[in-house]
Structure 1
Amino acid sequence: MSQSLILASGSAVRQKLLADAGLVFTAEDSRVDEDEIKAGFADGEDDPEAATDALALKLAEAKALAVSAKHGDALVIGADQILSCEGKRYDKPKSMEEARTNLLAFRGRPHILHSGLVLVQDGKTVWNLTARATLTMRAFSESFLDEYLGKAGERVMKSVGCYQLEGPGVQLFERIEGDYFAILGLPMLPLLDELRRRGAVTT
């Protein structure tokens, strides 16, 4: 198995998922301007959720293409995730106050995590996938929210939803529908299946 595998991401969570699965890979942050891509993308008034799927895929592809341009025939994994709640898209919070505001907006409502995943080789997309997970937050009290933010600290700013399910963030929820790995931002099972099909990992 000579084909090199690169994750086009600086995400510690995505790197851990691949490493825990036993994959041999390197990771490289693409440094693409996500805000520029988002600004030039249509809102999709007729079907905003489908438009958000497409945006997540476009961001994932942009990251993988940027890294592929520097690494010849390596197989490059690109991934991105966007959160939408009642048709509005949310980015990672830039402050603890913004995180608190966002969590209050999500409280008692379902939100959707849209994941885009691509494989790029020689500057061309050779495979892609979109996945959704729907998570419903419970109607928690503001005192609980303050306690949660105090415990979680600035880690909440590393997640578009202001939570890590593997930590105290799980207490925010009353229902979760969708693949666990997609919630973490990297749908592992279809990715591994495609990597096996391509001979990039042992079958």
Structure 2
Amino acid sequence: MPALILASKSTARRAVLDGAGVAYEAASPGVDEDAVKVEMLAAGAGPAAIAEALAERKALAVSAVRPGLVIGADQTLDLDGRLYDKAEDLAAAGERLALLRGRTHRLHSAVVVARDGAPVWRTLETAVLTMRDFSDEFLDDYLATEGTHALGSVGCYRLEGPGAQLFSRIEGDYFSILGLPLLGLLDFLRNEGVLAA
């Protein structure tokens, strides 16, 4: 059975694989994500293309030095075609959520699997999320409850936690929203003999 490595230290992605019963090893990809984003934005790339490129670079960085199958993943938040990064602190998280309030945004979640330094499988899934027009009081309470957990995702929410209360409508795959499109990945891993068919 080939080794399976997740090129990420993301607790959310690890939780998705753990929950699905997938055995893997996590490794830090060491990719300068900010530099990649600056380079790609300067070239006119959009948020979806940036998610795909980052997922690929992470997978290739680890695959170049480790045998087996390497999963690289990334997620970007797209509001009206503009890319948003994770908030740096709770004040910025409050500003982000106020910006998203009452509006629809997209989450682009990309996965690339590499072997021997080359991509062998990829997917990109986009979820469309509409936040309800919540009150300032709700926002303050939400941030007080979530604390630094709100800084762990680009949208400042965990759908698997109190962040579910922020939304009026969600279209898309649940696992993709968590940052790891899972079902297609599981099919690929079964086909590769990593998981039982």
Provide Cα deviations, 1:114-165, integer angstroms capped at 9, x if missing partner: 0111100000001111110011000011111001101111110111100011
Read off the aligned partner of 2:150 and give its amino acid letter. Answer: V
Superposed CA RMSD in Å reads 1.3
Structure 1 unaligned residues grouped into runs of 5+? none
Provide Cα deviations, 1:84-112, integer angstroms capped at 9, x if missing partner: 11122110100111101110110000010
1:166, 1:128 → 2: CA distance?
Answer: 25
Q: Is 2:21 the partner of 1:22?
A: yes
SS in 2 for 1:31: coil
Equivalent residue number for residue 54 of structure 2: 59
User: TM-score, normalised to structure 2's length?
Assistant: 0.96
Q: Give the counterpart of 1:141 among 135, 145, 155.
A: 135
Identity, % of aligned pairs? Answer: 50
Shift of 1:52: 1.9
2:130, 2:16 → 1: CA distance?
Answer: 24
Q: Is 2:150 the partner of 1:156?
A: yes
Q: 1:7-86 counterparts in 2 under 5 A?
A: 7-42=6-41, 51-72=46-67, 74-86=68-80
User: TM-score, normalised to structure 1's length?
Assistant: 0.94
Provide Cα deviations, 1:153-196, integer angstroms capped at 9, x if missing partner: 11101111000111111111100000000000001100001111
Q: Which of structure 1's runs of 4+ aligned residues deviate more than 3 A?
A: 42-45
Read off the aligned partner of 2:158 and give its amino acid letter. Answer: Q
Shift of 1:42: 3.8
Alignment: residue pair count: 197
2:154, 2:55 → 1: CA distance?
Answer: 15
Read off the aligned partner of 2:188 and give its amino acid letter. Answer: E
Contact 2:47 2:82 in 1 (8 A): no
Rate the CA distance shift 1:108–1:44 in 2: closer, same or farther, 3 A.
farther
Read off the aligned partner of 2:51 and give its amino acid letter. Answer: A
1:122, 1:96 → 2: CA distance?
Answer: 41
SS in 1 for 2:40: coil
1:17, 1:175 → 2: CA distance?
Answer: 22
Shift of 1:41: 0.5
1:43, 1:135 → 2: CA distance?
Answer: 27
1:137, 1:146 → 2: CA distance?
Answer: 16
Q: Give the counterpart of 1:115 among 105, 109, 130.
A: 109
